[in-house]
Chains A and B, each alone.
Chain A
Amino acid sequence: MAWTDKRPMSPHLQIYKLPMTAVLSVLHRGTGAALGVGGLLIVWILARAAGGEDDFAAANWVLSSLLGKLVLFGFTAALYYHFCNGIRHLLWDIGWGLDLKTSKHSGQAVLGVSLSLTALTWLVAL
């Protein structure tokens, strides 16, 4: 059933500061969802390339323009974050690092490694 109760809800996000691990969890879901747009973009670029040189002109513009490069940068940053945190999830699945302290440290490592991978990729690209 749809939510029909009109009484106000107790505020939480506007009041409590989320722990770092919680923010990383939300970010994992957020980047995961947002990466779908990137996937769509990649399929579009591939379809254009399959269509021939003329069709590819629009895709080439996307890949070469400043706006396009910014979008791609955001895409790789989201991708690497989701990638590194995904590995952290897999490690949790085999039971490693589930305590709070290790979780915080692995979370910081995820942030560090994903930023490094993003920087490294763009160093190679440009």
Chain B
Amino acid sequence: MSTTQMRTPLSRAKGWGSAKSGTHHFWVQRLTGIALIPLTLWFCFGLASLPSMAYSDFTAWVGSPFNSVMLILTLMAVFYHYALGLQVIIEDYVSDHAVRTAAIIASHFVCIILGVVGVFSVIRISLGVAG
């Protein structure tokens, strides 16, 4: 019997208890949130200051090296932040364990896919503008 854990055998067998990586979740949520402070302001005012939403204006803005890098950073931070937040919402409101687990897995996958599509699109536009 382990002396480092003050638990009964039954509690060890049941395996309930801490969320194990809960602190990491908390920290990364704050980290992405902090990153999103300058990124959000840049994004909103950047888009607002475009002369028009025509294809040429839009892709010229997205395609500039600085804006592409900023957009990729923003997309990554947003979808990581969103995935973590969505997980908390699902954990709060879905009571069935199996459905909850499936929902959390699905939400993470969707966020990753959206993030990758976004980053890929930015790179494609950027290379098109540069070419």
Q: Interface range on chain B: under 10, 10 to 19, 20 to 34, or 35 or more?
A: 35 or more
- Whether A90 contacts B34 in the complex (CB less than 8 A), given A39-B82, A50-B120, A64-B53, comes out as yes
| Contact count band on A | 35 or more
Q: Is the CB of A50 within 8 A of B96?
A: no
B95–A121 contact, CB under 8 A? Answer: no
Residues of chain A with a CB closer than 8 A to B124's CB: 50
Contact partner, A29, options B48, B54, B89, B120, Cβ 8 Å: B89
Complex contact B125–A121 (CB within 8 A): no
CB of A56 within 8 A of CB of B40, answer no
B6 in contact (CB, < 8 A): no
Residues 55-102 of A at the B interface (beta carbon under 8 Å): 56, 60, 63-64, 76, 79-80, 83, 86-87, 89-90, 93
5 A–B contacts from the bound complex (CB under 8 Å) = A32-B85, A36-B82, A36-B86, A46-B62, A117-B44
The chain B residues found within 8 Å of chain A, CB to CB, are 30, 33-34, 36-37, 40, 44-45, 47-49, 53-55, 58-59, 62, 71, 75, 78-79, 82, 85-86, 89, 95-97, 114, 117-118, 120-122, 124-125, 128
For the A-B complex with A39-B114, A86-B37 known, give 15 more contacts whose Cβ atoms are closer than 8 Å.
Answer: A46-B62, A46-B117, A49-B121, A50-B121, A50-B122, A53-B55, A56-B55, A56-B58, A79-B40, A79-B44, A83-B36, A121-B45, A122-B48, A125-B48, A125-B49
